[in-house]
Amino acid sequence: MSYKGPIGPISINTETEKPYGLAFPVITIKDMVNAQKLLLNHLGISDLLSAADGSMGGMQALQWAVSYPQFIKY
């Protein structure tokens, strides 16, 4: 499969020629935070001063505090 833009459950699976539907993997807030942590590690960033936001960003900030409490100063 080649990536040519946004993909989701309604995208066509090139192997089956049908939408991914329920076969599309579930992506959680924890998955997003883990991906962000990998990026920060790759960039050599060792800690964050704070994590705050609203809505989905707020859920991610809370997940940061749960998953990586030593990484967040405030």
Q: For the chain, how many structural domains are there in total?
A: 1
In a domain, 20, yes or no: yes
Domain ranges, residue 44: 12-67
Amino acid identity, position 42: H
Cα angle 12, 14, 18 (rounded to 5 degrees) comes to: 45
In a domain, 61, yes or no: yes
pTM: 0.74
For the cut 90, the answer to whether the pLDDT of residue 5 exceeds it is no
- Least confident window among 4-8, 18-22, 46-50: 4-8
Beta strands 18-19 and 12-13: pairing type?
Answer: antiparallel
Are the C-beta atoms of residues 48 and 64 closer than 8 Å to each other?
Answer: yes
